[in-house]
């Protein structure tokens, strides 16, 4: 995550009471479910924060987290506990579907309508940049219309990486030589920097999915992949409903390969492809709901 570690190293193992308290905080702050089997992983990652802060005592760190001034450090804690894995055109079938729907979206945009796509849990940016490339391949002038991609993540550190938009050769796997030539510039050290055409389509914002959603309009498509799987069932159900409320009729929800929307018809969805769901036009539409009620569990 880019921390520069220094200062004292934590001593001994993370006590069980600290692990339990941090697990409870992670659930309250971000809906993360941390089973007891993850104790070694949590200890390793929290130790990064202790080293960065020059602390050696896990209880002292917990005291900081629970203090009135601990909000900033709670965000850092979520950052180190969150696994950020992303790739360009990951789960290619989703981008094939987006490519199929792009002509209709662009026709609407050219007629003056707003077109909005949300990358919820955008991590280091490959997903929203892949969405932008897909749209620009359908119409190189997409950026001249009222067509925008909102890219959000709970982790401010990974959002800084996404905004920078610089990727090494390994991270560029999945991007063809043709797309590299069209949408990337060569940066220092042989890295690849995203073009202005891609940046123009995307707004990056910090957002906790369990909090308030400030967006007023609805989305034509939402990508929320490999995010909801880390939440408990009650939180998942609340989020699926909120996503439905945030979609236009016949808008698409793309979820991760290991995620499913249970009883989709009851939530206003119908399956329409591999891990793809369409917002049913017959569903009862309400204003987007508030935070999931499990937030304070």
- Residue 293 has a pLDDT of 36
The pLDDT tens digits for 134-185 are 999 999 999 999 999 999 999 888 999 999 999 999 999 999 999 999 999 9
**For residue 284, what pLDDT band results from cuts at 50, 70 and 90?**
very low
Residue 197 structure tokens: 């055409």
Say whether pLDDT at 129 is over 70. Answer: yes
Say whether pLDDT at 226 is over 70. Answer: yes
- Residue 6 has a pLDDT of 39
- Residue 231 has a pLDDT of 87
CA-based torsion, 79, 80, 82, 84: positive or negative: positive
**For residue 10, what pLDDT band results from cuts at 50, 70 and 90?**
low
Average pLDDT of the chain is 89
**For residue 86, what pLDDT band results from cuts at 50, 70 and 90?**
confident
End-to-end CA distance of the chain: 28
- Residue 8 has a pLDDT of 52
Of residues 229 and 214, the one with the higher pLDDT is 214
- Residue 64 has a pLDDT of 95
- Residue 229 has a pLDDT of 83
Say whether pLDDT at 288 is over 70. Answer: no
Q: What is the pTM of this model?
A: 0.82
The correct CATH number of 92-296 out of 2.40.160.20, 3.30.470.20, 2.30.250.10, 3.40.50.150 is 3.40.50.150
Which has the closest alpha carbon to 261: 242, 288, 246? 242
- Residue 286 has a pLDDT of 44
Say whether pLDDT at 189 is over 70. Answer: yes
CATH topology of domain 16-81: Chemotaxis Receptor Methyltransferase Cher; domain 1 (1.10.155)
- Residue 261 has a pLDDT of 92
The label of the residue with tokens 């409870």 reads: 24
- Give the pLDDT mean for 201-212: 95
| 73-77, 154-158, 186-190: the lowest-pLDDT one | 186-190
- Residue 11 has a pLDDT of 63
The pLDDT tens digits for 23-65 are 999 888 877 888 899 899 899 989 989 999 999 899 999 999 9
Q: Which residues are identified as catalytic?
A: 45, 153
**Domain-wise residue ranges, the chain:** 16-81, 92-296
The three-state DSSP-derived secondary structure of the chain is CCCCCCCCCCCCCCCHHHHHHHHHHHHHHHCCCCCHHHHHHHHHHHHHHHHHHCCCCHHHHHHHHHCCCCHHHHHHHHHHHCCCCCCCCCCHHHHHHHHHHHHHHHHHHHCCCCEEEEEECCCCCHHHHHHHHHHHHHCCCHHHCCEEEEEEECCHHHHHHHHHCEECCCCCCCCCHHHHHHHEEECHHHCEEECHHHHHHEEEEECCCCCCCCCCCCEEEEEECCCHHHCCHHHHHHHHHHHHHHEEEEEEEEECCCCCCCCHHHHCEEECCCCEEEECCCCCCCCCCCCCHHHHC
What whole-number distance in Å separates Cα of residue 155 and Cα of residue 206?
7
């Amino acid at each position: 995550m880019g921390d520069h570690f220094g200062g004292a190293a934590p001593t001994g193992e993370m006590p069980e009471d600290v692990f339990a308290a941090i697990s409870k905080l992670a659930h309250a702050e971000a809906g993360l479910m941390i089973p007891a089997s993850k104790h070694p992983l949590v200890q390793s990652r929290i130790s990064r924060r202790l080293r960065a802060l020059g602390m050696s005592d896990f209880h002292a760190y917990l005291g900081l987290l629970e203090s009135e001034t601990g909000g900033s450090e709670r965000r850092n804690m979520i950052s180190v506990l969150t696994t950020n894995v992303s790739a360009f055109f990951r789960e290619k079938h989703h981008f094939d579907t987006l490519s199929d729907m792009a002509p209709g979206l662009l026709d609407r945009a050219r007629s003056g309508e707003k077109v909005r796509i949300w990358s919820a849990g955008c991590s280091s940016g490959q997903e929203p940049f892949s969405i932008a490339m897909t749209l620009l391949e359908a119409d190189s002038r997409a950026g001249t219309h009222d067509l925008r991609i909102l890219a959000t993540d709970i982790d401010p550190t990974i959002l800084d990486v996404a905004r920078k938009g610089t990727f090494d050769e390994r991270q560029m796997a999945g991007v063809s030589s043709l797309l590299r030539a069209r949408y990337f510039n060569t940066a220092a050290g042989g890295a690849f920097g995203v073009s202005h055409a891609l940046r123009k389509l995307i707004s990056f914002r910090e957002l906790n999915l369990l909090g308030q959603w400030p967006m007023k309009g609805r989305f034509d498509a939402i990508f929320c992949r490999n995010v909801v799987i880390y939440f408990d069932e009650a939180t998942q159900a609340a989020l699926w409903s909120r996503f439905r409320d945030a979609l236009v009729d016949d808008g698409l929800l793309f979820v991760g390969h290991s995620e499913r929307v249970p009883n989709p018809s009851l939530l206003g969805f119908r399956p329409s492809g591999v891990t793809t769901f369409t917002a049913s036009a017959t569903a009862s539409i309400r204003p987007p709901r508030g935070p999931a009620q499990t937030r304070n569990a």
